[in-house]
Each structure stands twice: as C-alpha cells, then as structure tokens.
Structure 1
C-alpha cells in the first residue's frame, strides 16, 4: 500500500515537471526554460505556471482510477494538493 502511494506521488511529481516544462515552453515562446522560470519568478506568475503544469496530474489520476489502482491515484492526488498549497503559500509571500 505505501509503495503504491509512493509510486503515485512520484508519477505526480514527474507529470507536474513535464507539464511545467511544456507550459514554460508554450508561454515562453521558445525561450530557454531557465530564463522563462526566472522571468516568471520576477514578474510574480511562477505559481500560475506551476499550477498549469499540474494539469497533467489529471491524466495520471484518471489513468490510475481507470486501472483500479486507487492507492497510486491517491498518491497523485496528494501531490496535487501539496502543489496547490505550496503555490498558495508562495503567492502569499
């Protein structure tokens, strides 16, 4: 059970990282990834960019639900909630 939750959390982090990369490349108009992240942090929309990256977690979540791998889906959901809370805290400070 713990192993499946950990796998789900790992998949959620990887999906979020890939989504963040795609969102940065799409919104950055082909600029360097690190340059886009630095500009987003300076302009104050890094939290929004990270939240856009979390959209891929929906796909992973529903794939795990469809395969009846509930504990892995729970791990993806935990990471998604963690990302939402961290972007909220990031926006406050």
Structure 2
C-alpha cells in the first residue's frame, strides 16, 4: 500500500505541474501551449515557466497533509525533485 500511495502522489504531482504550466503559458503568451513552450525555451525562460507551473503542487501538498495522506504528499515532493532535475537539464 505504501508504494502505491507514493506513486499516486507522484502522478498527481506531475499532472498538477503540467496543468499549472499549461495555464501559465495560456495566460502569459498569445500562442498556444506548444508554440509558447518553444518560444520560452528559446528565450531561456522555460525554468521560470515550469516553476510557475509547480505552484498548484504546493496547494495539493498542503491539502494532502491536512487529509493525513502523508505518503501521497511524499509523492508530490518526489515529483518536484524530478521536475527540478528536468528543469536543470533543459
């Protein structure tokens, strides 16, 4: 049960970051998601966009802690570590 809770939290974290990135690109660029992502990557701002996209994970993290879902909250933190590594590579 432990591993599945962490995996569920990890997937929720990735989905939350993707959704946040999609929304931030939709609000701050006139282009679509793919074109906006490409333009931000060319401009060297993709790390900032992914960071803005990770804000919903903060809300999800504290919600899970309040509901006593500590292992799922650990999955959120794990997904943030993975996203940090990906951001450093890009």
Q: State the TM-score, normalized to the length of structure 2.
A: 0.92
In the aligned structure 1, how far is the partner of 2:73 from the partner of 2:26? 27
Aligned twin of 2:53: 53
Query: 5+ unaligned residues in a row in structure 2: which ranges?
Result: none
In the aligned structure 2, how far is the partner of 1:81 from the partner of 1:32? 27
Query: 5+ unaligned residues in a row in structure 1: which ranges?
Result: none
Aligned twin of 1:10: 11
Q: What are the equivalent positions in structure 2 for 1:12-91 lying under 5 Å apart?
A: 12-29=13-30, 31-90=31-90
In the aligned structure 2, how far is the partner of 1:3 from the partner of 1:39? 37
Runs of 4+ in 1 over 2 A off after TM superposition: none
Q: State the TM-score, normalized to the length of structure 1.
A: 0.89
**Cα root mean square deviation, aligned:** 1.0
